[in-house]
Amino acid sequence: MTEAYVALEDGRVLEGRGRAPGTARGELVFTTAYTGYEESLTDPSYEEQVLTFSYPLIGNYGVREERFEDDRVHPRAALAKEFTEDVAEWLESEGVPAVDHLDTREVVTTIRDGGAMKCGIAVGEDVTEEDAKEQLEACKAMSDHTEIGEQVSVDEVEVYGEDNDGETVALVDCGAKGSIVDSLLARDAEVHVLPHDASVADVEAVDPDVLFISNGPGDPVNFEQTIHLVEEFVEDTPVAGICLGQQIVAEALGGTTEKMDFGHRGVNQPVLDLASGQVVMTTQNHGYTVAEPGEHLEVTQINVNDDTPEGIDGIEYDVITRQYHPEANPGPEDTLDFFDDVLAMADSRSEQAVPADD
């Protein structure tokens, strides 16, 4: 059996079975999702993290590229009770260390009790506990990854749906899932994917009907240029956001954000809409949240479990954001109408801008 060690910030070292070799370090987090492992492993929001699957068997329906959210695996390492050969071989091909035969119940309760924590991973024929501890010593806190946007964003503008007849969307890529683009294209939008550090002139060149801030990894305060874009355009252009995008919008409009103890990661997070009283089930993956929305925004949806903001709308501005992932990959699909609301907001603004006939 290949040696495998996981060194935790609380001083313990866990021993498991190595399934993909290598060394790694990152913030140790968990997901409660029992399906969607391909989507989770390719979600850019897991950049610089070590992902633990709470479901005991990962890989029981294979690996299919059409379910990927990006073109590479983003967690620095992956942990499970058991990985199938398909997943282990995939992770090895991506150079991502994998460890199984762990008591993932213990790992999850450790994170729930102590919060997301630093960890170090060492997997290989000749590795030792000390190799994992060395990785732990070199691990940075998530908020210290100040340039994390560069690791997950496009380098230049990419355009999709140029033949579509709907609204033009400037999607600022802070680590966007591919299914966000797909959801907009399915509604006939033309989508311009911009780098996270795009300039005001870059956005003006698109002349968008809506400025859309994507999901992504890390601390929202580190996305200074994206925050600046919201500040510059919110008075004249509708603004939407998902996950990290909600936090960035809040930071731009006078709100504050904070790190959560262990975050929300899974496909069964209940969200209450305050106006209708309806509860929907949502997919989530975030470790930061809006603490205070500020005077320009109001909370419209909350998490049933902990009352954290899940939906925020503008008071005097055309703004709509969601903390969860309404694109619903791998599911559930309770909230896909968010994209209809975003494009309707943009369409309404466009109609208002058209001068009346004499």
How confident is the model at residue 354, as a pLDDT? Answer: 52
Is 286 one of the annotated active-site residues of the chain? no
Q: Which residues of 51-88 are buried (b: 16+ CB within 10 A; e: fewer)?
A: bbbbbeebbeeebeeebbbbeebbbbbbbbbbbbeebb
Is 327 one of the annotated active-site residues of the chain? yes
Are 178 and 69 contacting, i.e. CB atoms less than 8 angstroms apart? yes
Q: Scan for tokens 């059409």, then name that residue.
A: 66
Cis peptide preceding 270, ω within 30 of 0: no
Q: Is residue 45 marked as binding?
A: yes
As beta bridge partners, residue 285 has: 265
Enclosing H/E stretch for 89:
helix 85-93
Q: Is residue 218 marked as binding?
A: yes
- Say which residues have a Cβ less than 8 Å from residue 306's Cβ, sequence separation at least 6: none
How many Å apart are CA 53 and CA 57, to the nearest integer?
9
How many Å apart are CA 54 and CA 57, to the nearest integer?
9
Q: Is residue 287 marked as binding?
A: yes
Q: Is residue 149 marked as binding?
A: no
Q: Which residue pairs from 347-356 have beta carbons closer than 8 angstroms and sit at least 24 positions apart in sequence?
A: 347/167, 347/209, 348/318, 349/209, 349/237, 349/238, 349/318, 350/167, 350/209
How many Å apart are CA 289 and CA 308, to the nearest integer?
7
How confident is the model at residue 330, as a pLDDT? Answer: 82
How confident is the model at residue 358, as a pLDDT? Answer: 47
Which two tokens mark 63? 């690996």
What is the rounded radius of gyration, in angstroms, for the C-alpha atoms of the chain? 21
How confident is the model at residue 350, as a pLDDT? Answer: 63
Q: Is residue 288 marked as binding?
A: yes
Identify residue 243 by its one-letter amino acid code. C
**Catalytic entry in 38, 243, 286, 310:** 243
How many Å apart are CA 88 and CA 194, to the nearest integer?
33
Would you say the C-alpha torsion 21, 27, 30, 33 has a positive or negative sign? negative
Smallest CA-to-CA distance from 312 within 294, 327, 300 is with 300
As beta bridge partners, residue 192 has: 159, 170
The tens digit of pLDDT for each residue in 178-198 reads 999 999 999 999 999 999 999
Are 270 and 279 contacting, i.e. CB atoms less than 8 angstroms apart? yes
Q: Which residue pairs from 333-336 have beta carbons closer than 8 angstroms and sit at least 24 positions apart in sequence?
A: 334/280, 334/281, 334/282, 335/271, 335/280, 335/282, 336/183
| pTM greater than 0.75 | yes
Is 66 one of the annotated active-site residues of the chain? no
Residues in the chain, pLDDT under 50:
356, 358
**Catalytic entry in 82, 167, 251, 327:** 327
How confident is the model at residue 357, as a pLDDT? Answer: 54
How confident is the model at residue 329, as a pLDDT? Answer: 80
Neighbours of 334 (CB within 10 A): 18
- Say which residues have a Cβ less than 8 Å from residue 274's Cβ, sequence separation at least 6: 299, 300, 301, 302
How confident is the model at residue 163, as a pLDDT? Answer: 96
Are 319 and 234 contacting, i.e. CB atoms less than 8 angstroms apart? yes
